[in-house]
Amino acid sequence: MKVAISGIGIMAEGLPDWESARRVLRGEIPYEKQPLRTACPGGLGANEARRCPLPARCAIDAGLQALAMGPYAPSMVATVFSSASGDLDIADRNCRGLVAPAPALSPTLFHNSVHNAPAGYWGVATGAQTRSISLSAFDDSFGAGLLEALTTVTVAGEAALYVAYDMVPPPAFARVRTVAAPFAVALVLAPAGTPGCAVMEASWVPARVPETRMGDASLEDLRRHNPAARSLPLLDALARGGRASIGLGCGGETGLCLTIE
Amino acid sequence: MRQADLAVGPYTLTCALGSGLRAVREAIRTGRSGLRPYTSAQVSCYAGAVDGLEQVAWSGPWARWDCRNNRLALAALEADGFAQAVAVLRSRLGSERIGCVMGTSTSGIGATEAAYRDMRARGAEALPAQFPYRETHNIHAVGHFVHSWLRLKGPALTVSTACSSSAKVFGVAARLIASGTCAAVVVGGVDSLCDTTIHGFASLQLLSGRPARPFAADRDGISVGEAGGFAIIAPRGLMDGAVLGLRGTGESSDAYHMTAPHPAAAGALSAMAQALRAAQWTVADVDYIHLHGTGTPLNDAAEDLALVSMGADKVAASSLKGALGHTLGAAGIAGVVFTAEAMAAGLVPATTNTDCIDPAVRSAIAVAAQRRPLRRALVNAFGFGGSNSVLALALLP
C-alpha cells in the first residue's frame, strides 16, 4: 500500500507542534519536557468548548496542524482516530458517581465517555461531515489505526486524516495501566502521486516485526510508555528526510513494515 | 464504498430474545419482545438482558478475561455453530489470512464498576494491581478475546463509534479484503448491560420507564439491551452456499452535536445515499429498511425525515428496538442478522411494542409483520458523536 504523507501534527509535552518536534528529532535542539499547551479548538460553541475533554483537545489540535500543512480542508478527508485506552479520566469520574450512596452520572461525562468523543468534537469544531472511525487495538492501536487509514486511502481513493492519542490515566488506574505522558499525533495520508512531504509504502505481515526504537533514551522512554508515541520512529524518519524503514506492531501477532522516501 | 462481490457468510446473534437464530426467527414471526423490568442502582426501567450470563465463572488461562461482556461474546460465539464455522474457514484459508474486527461501546466496563464498588467498601483509592483492566474494561478487550478464542492470526482491532460500531466493522472488513490484507474477516459486535449506560441514558432523559416503542405517538425513550453477534465476510467465491451479499456501505458524520441528531437529518441522509450509490441502486430497488429506530422522540423524527427527504417513505421499514432493546455497540450486527433472517423468510418484521404510529411520522413503518419478497435492504445504525453507518444487503441470486 503506497500513499503520500501531506501533513503532520503533534501535541506532547515539549513537542507542541511539528516544527518544534522536527528540530528535536533532528537533534538540533534538546528534548525538554514542558507542560502540555492545548488551546480550546475554535469552531466550538461556548458550551461545547467548556465540555471538550483533554484527549479531544489534543487530538483536534494535532489534526488541524496536519491539515494546515497541505491542500486539504477538514471537509475533504475521511478521519481515523485511534486510542488504546480512550478517556480513563472520564471512566474514573463516572464509576465514582455510580458507586456513590446516591448514584448519579453527569450527562456531559456520559456522552464524553464514548470512545469516539474526539471524533464527535472534531465534527462539531470543523463542520466536516465526512466518514469517521474510532478504534483501539490496545498497545498496538497506532499500527492498527494506520492500517485502517492506509486501506481507506488505497481502496477508497480518498485522503484521510489519521489521529492517534493516549493520555495519562487517573491515579485510580495507576497500578493497572501505565501511560507515562500524554501524546497525540496526526498524519494526512493521500493517494500515491499526490504532492506531499514524503511517500510511504506499507505492508502488513502476519508476524511480530522488530519494532524500530528511538536512539534518544528519553524519546525511547516516551515511545515505550504511550501507545500513540509508537509513531515516534516514523516521525523521526519524516523529520530527517531520506529513505528509512520502520517496523510497527499492528494488533495480535502482526506487524506493519513501513518504508519512507 | 463500492464493494467487490462480498458475501455475508455464516452469522449468529444472541440477545434478550434468546440464543442464536432460532430466537431471531421466532421473534420475526411472532413479534415477541424480550424486554423485562430492570433495576440498576435506583433506576427502574425495562431492559433486554441475556439470561444465563451470571452462572458461568471462568477459570484457568481465561480467568482474567472473565466479565459480562466477554461471557456474552463467548455465548454468542458458541451459538449456531459459529465458532466451528470459523474453525473450518481457518483450516481452508490459514489463520493469518482471517482478520477480526469487533464493535463495542463500553466493552467490559462493568468489571471496573464492580471494582469501584469494592474499592469504596474497602476505603481504597485505587484499583488493585491484579485487576485485569486490559482483558475486561479496555475497548479492545472484546476484539482481543474473540481473536484469541477463534485462534485467528490476521489483523485484530475493535471499532468503538458508540451505536454505529458494529455496522462500521463491515466497512473495515471490506477494505481489509479489498486491500489484499485479509482473505476473510470475522466481524461482530458485543455490548452488555452496565450501570454506565443505564445511568448515562437516564441522565440525558433518553431512557423510557416502559418498554421502548419506536415511532409510536407516545414514545419517550430507549430500552437498553445487550447482544453479541458475528458474521463472516469474504469474497463470494470463497463462500459456498452464502445467500446474502454486502453490496455497499455508507458512512458520514453529523458534525452537529454530541448526542442530538442533525435537525435536517443531513448525516443519516448522506450515509443512506452513499450506501445506495455504492450498491448502484435507486430507492425504488430497496424492499426493506431496517431502521435504527431507537424510540426517542428526536432520533425517530430525524430518521423519518431522512427517509422522507430521499423519497424512501413508501419503502417498508421497521425497528426491532422494542424486541431486544437498543443494544448500542451491537446494534449494527443485530440489525444485519434480523434483516438477513427477514429476507430469508420473506417477512417484514413488525415494529415490536408499537401499536399506534406517531401521526407526524410519514415513513411506511410496519406495525404488523408483512409477507413479501425482500431482495434488497438497507440497515441503518447511528450513534453519539454524530456517527452514521448504513449497509446495503442483497439476497444472492
Q: CB–CB of A99/A105 below 8 Å?
A: no
Here the cell at position B264 is 435536517
* Domains of chain A (ranges, CATH numbers): 2-196 (3.40.47.10)
Q: CB–CB of B317/B338 below 8 Å?
A: no
Q: Give CA–CA dist A201/A1, Å, rounded.
A: 6
Q: Which of B97, B109, B161 sits opposite A91 (nearest CB)?
A: B109
Q: Is A136 on the interface with B (CB under 8 A)?
A: yes
**Of A252, A237, A185, which Cα lies nearest the Cα of B152?**
A252
Burial class, B37, CB count within 10 angstroms (exposed 0-12 / middle 13-18 / buried 19+)? exposed
Instruction: Quick: pLDDT tens for B111-135.
Output: 999 999 999 999 999 999 999 999 9
Here the cell at position A127 is 463542520
Q: CB–CB of A23/A236 below 8 Å?
A: no
Query: So what's the pLDDT on residue B1?
Result: 54
Q: CB–CB of B11/B336 below 8 Å?
A: yes
Residue A223 neighbours by CB distance under 10 Å: 24
CA angle B4, B9, B10 (to 5 degrees): 165
Chain A positions in Cβ-Cβ contact with residue B265 (cut-off 8 Å): none
CB contact under 8 A, B254 and A123: yes
Q: Give CA–CA dist A51/B226, Å, rounded.
A: 29
Q: Give CA–CA dist A88/B127, Å, rounded.
A: 13
**Mean pLDDT confidence for A202-229:** 96
The total number of residues shown for chain A amounts to 261
Query: So what's the pLDDT on residue B81?
Result: 98
Name the residue with cell 462493568.
B110
Query: So what's the pLDDT on residue B333?
Result: 98
Q: Is A208 on the interface with B (CB under 8 A)?
A: no
Q: Smallest CA–CA separation between B270 and chain A, in Å? A: 9
- Is A251 or B153 the better-scoring residue by pLDDT? B153
**Of B263, B327, B340, which Cα lies nearest the Cα of B7?**
B340
Name the residue with cell 482483558.
B135
Name the residue with cell 478517556.
A87
> Residue B17 gets which letter from DSSP?
T
Q: How many domains does chain B have?
A: 1
CB contact under 8 A, A119 and B387: yes
Q: At B18, is the secondary structure helix, strand, or coil?
A: strand
* DSSP class per residue in B53-108: GGG----GGGGGG-SHHHHHHHHHHHGGGHHHHHHHHHHHH-GGGEEEEEE-SSTT
Q: Smallest CA–CA separation between A242 and chain B, in Å? A: 27
Q: Give CA–CA dist A27/A47, Å, rounded.
A: 42
CB contact under 8 A, B200 and A94: yes
CB contact under 8 A, B112 and A137: no
Query: So what's the pLDDT on residue B2?
Result: 54
Q: CB–CB of A14/A24 below 8 Å?
A: yes
CB contact under 8 A, B386 and A120: yes
Instruction: Quick: pLDDT tens for A60-113.
Output: 999 999 999 999 999 999 999 999 999 999 999 999 999 999 998 999 999 999
Q: Give CA–CA dist B73/A45, Å, rounded.
A: 40
Q: CB–CB of B210/B46 below 8 Å?
A: yes
User: Identity (one letter) of the amino acid at A31?
Assistant: Y
**Of B242, B243, B232, which Cα lies nearest the Cα of B87?**
B232
- Chain A to chain B Cβ contacts (< 8 Å): 239
Q: Smallest CA–CA separation between B332 and chain A, in Å? A: 14
CB contact under 8 A, B158 and A136: yes
Q: Give CA–CA dist B191/B70, Å, rounded.
A: 9
Q: Is A114 on the interface with B (CB under 8 A)?
A: yes
Burial class, A150, CB count within 10 angstroms (exposed 0-12 / middle 13-18 / buried 19+)? buried
Q: Smallest CA–CA separation between A240 and chain B, in Å? A: 30
**Residue B205: closest C-alpha in chain A:** A107
Q: Is A117 on the interface with B (CB under 8 A)?
A: yes
Q: Give CA–CA dist B193/A160, Å, rounded.
A: 34
Which regions in chain B score pLDDT beneath 70? Answer: 1-4
- Sign, CA torsion B82/B87/B88/B89: positive
Q: At A77, is the secondary structure helix, strand, or coil?
A: coil
Q: Is A155 on the interface with B (CB under 8 A)?
A: yes
Here the cell at position B254 is 453529523
Chain B positions in Cβ-Cβ contact with residue A137 (cut-off 8 Å): 140, 143, 156-158
**Residue B251: closest C-alpha in chain A:** A131
Phi-psi region of A196 (alpha: psi -120 to 50; beta: other; left: phi over 0): beta
Residue B116 neighbours by CB distance under 10 Å: 23
| Catalytic site positions of B | 163, 292, 326
Residues 6 or more apart whose Cβ sits within 8 Å of residue B329:
B103, B104, B105, B106, B160, B162, B163, B165, B166, B189, B190, B191
Q: Smallest CA–CA separation between B370 and chain A, in Å? A: 34
Q: Give CA–CA dist A171/A261, Å, rounded.
A: 42
Chain B positions in Cβ-Cβ contact with residue A151 (cut-off 8 Å): 172, 175-176, 178-179, 181
Q: Is A157 on the interface with B (CB under 8 A)?
A: no
Q: Which of B1, B179, B201 sits opposite A154 (nearest CB)?
A: B179
CB contact under 8 A, A131 and B252: yes
Q: CB–CB of A9/A161 below 8 Å?
A: no
Residue B46 sits in a domain whose CATH number is 3.40.47.10
Query: Strand B43-48 relative to strand B224-225: parallel, antiparallel, unpaired?
Result: parallel
Chain A positions in Cβ-Cβ contact with residue B255 (cut-off 8 Å): 123-124, 126-129
User: Identity (one letter) of the amino acid at B72?
Assistant: L
| B207: Cα separation from own chain's centroid | 18
> Residue A3 gets which letter from DSSP?
E
Q: Is A184 on the interface with B (CB under 8 A)?
A: no
Query: Which residue out of B116, B135, B262, B296 would a mutagenesis test of the A interface target, given it has the greatest number of A Cβ atoms within 10 Å?
Result: B116
Q: B346: domain range?
A: 2-395
The residue ranges of DSSP E strands in A98-197, in sequence order, are 132-136, 160-166, 183-191
Chain A positions in Cβ-Cβ contact with residue B204 (cut-off 8 Å): 107, 110-111
Query: Which residue out of A60, A99, A163 would a mutagenesis test of the B interface target, given it has the greatest number of B Cβ atoms within 10 Å?
Result: A99
Q: Please, which residues bridge with residue B231 across strands? A: B11, B187
Q: How far is CA A212 from CA A7, A220, A261, B299, in A?
A: 22, 10, 17, 47
Q: Which of A79, A103, A150 sits opposite B199 (nearest CB)?
A: A103
Q: Which of B116, B159, B181 sits opposite A204 (nearest CB)?
A: B181
